[in-house]
Amino acid sequence: MQLGLLGYPIQHSLSPWIHNQFSEQINQLSEYQLFEISQDKFNDNVSELKFKKLDGFNVTVPYKQRIIPYLDELDIYADEIGAVNTVVCKNNKWIGYNTDGLGYVVGLKSAYPHLFSGDKKVLVLGAGGASRGIYYALCKEKFAAVDLANRTVEKAAHLLDLNQLKDAKSEVFSFTEAEKNLANYDLVIQTTSVGMKPNDSEKIIGLDLLSKGTVVSDIVYQPFTTRLLREAKTRGALIHHGHHMLLYQAKLAFELWSGQQVDAEQILPQLTQKIKKE
């Protein structure tokens, strides 16, 4: 298969390694190229990509929305979220999907299946692009509540539109309120870039009222263990590292391209080592 990644900057991406592992699993020769395109050349370079015989490609920051006008079809899930991270090229058509949120949820289910039974309550921190996909996917699960908190509360309130079918009970809080209510939640998910290298001393909220046994999840995977996760662990929480989302969104993308199932758990230890070394 001819695959690739569109984004900027992407030189340090782990996606080529992940997709090469998946290709080996199904004994298929693949090439996963990096299409590092700067913002001012986006239009011309994406038009050129149409002439390459690609089977599919991933889209990352900052182009997940900007790619949409170039697509022939948009999956309903990607349409609702308003962002595309995976394009399938088939019969000269580009079809856009979003595997970020669902990938996150599949990875979480694999690590902590107990969260998906009984009336569990979830708090999502952040209301940016990553949060949209995660919140949308969580609303489709049977949680007792999927609440949101964000520095700019109005922005979190806008995300409630993604839950139009009222699949989940949702409330919006400020960070101060979230910190006070922390003991109510079984799962707390950090979806912003706060705490990412080189700002690894940052932490999005205080964890004083966190209960033991709560799962704290951070989508940041550089550093491997963020300050938030470190402190959560000290307080007796169970932690879920950011590389799970990276891996599982890739698994779902690869399955869309190849039509075959691949095993993400099998490469998780090696991916962990790679991230820890960087």
Number of residues interacting with ligand ATR: please give it, by CB under 6 A: 14
Residue selected from 18, 123, 137, 204 as contacting ligand ATR according to rule CB under 6 A = 204
Of the two residues 58 and 192, which places its CB atom closer to ligand ATR in the complex?
A: 192
Quick check: 25 binds ligand ATR (CB under 6 A)? no
DSSP summary character for residue 57: E
64 is catalytic: yes
Q: Counting contacts by CB under 6 A, is residue 56 touching ligand ATR?
A: no
CB atoms within 10 A of CB 142: 11
Stretch that binds ligand ATR, among 44-52, 72-80, 94-102, 188-196 (CB under 6 A): 188-196
What whole-number distance in Å separates Cα of residue 89 and Cα of residue 79?
Answer: 17
For ligand ATR, which is the closer residue by CB, 126 or 242?
126
According to the binding rule CB under 6 A, does residue 60 interact with ligand ATR?
no
For residue 96, list its beta bridge partners: 74, 87
Reduced to 3 states (helix: H, G, I; strand: E, B; else coil), residue 49 is: helix
The answer to whether 247 and 270 are in contact (CB under 8 A) is no
Nearer to ligand ATR, 102 or 262 (CB): 102
Of 23-31, 105-113, 151-159, 247-255, the segment contacting ligand ATR by CB under 6 A is 151-159
Q: Exposed e or buried b for every residue in 109-124, given b needs 16+ CB within 10 A?
A: eebbeebeeeebbbbb
Applying CB under 6 A, among 21, 150, 214, 217 the residue interacting with ligand ATR is: 150
Selected range binding ligand ATR among 28-36, 104-112, 191-199, 250-258, rule: CB under 6 A: 191-199
CA pair distance 220, 24, nearest whole angstrom: 27
- Return the residue matching tokens 């609702």: 80
Strand, coil or helix: what is 31?
strand
Q: Which of 13, 184, 193, 222 binds ligand ATR (CB under 6 A)?
A: 193
Taking the complex as a whole, the smallest distance from the CB of residue 151 to ligand ATR amounts, in Å, to 3
Binding map of ligand ATR across residues 102-131, x = CB under 6 A, - = no contact:
------------------------xxxxxx
First to last CA, the chain: 28
Of 53, 64, 180, 233, the active-site residue reads 64
Minimum Å gap between C-beta 91 and ligand ATR is: 31
No. of helices (H) and no. of strands (E), the chain: 10, 12
Tell me if 66 contacts ligand ATR by CB under 6 A.
no
Helix segments in the chain, DSSP class H = 15-25, 42-49, 76-81, 100-111, 129-139, 153-159, 175-181, 227-234, 243-258, 268-277
Contact residues for ligand ATR (CB under 6 A)? 126-131, 150-152, 155, 192-194, 204
Catalytic residue numbers read 64
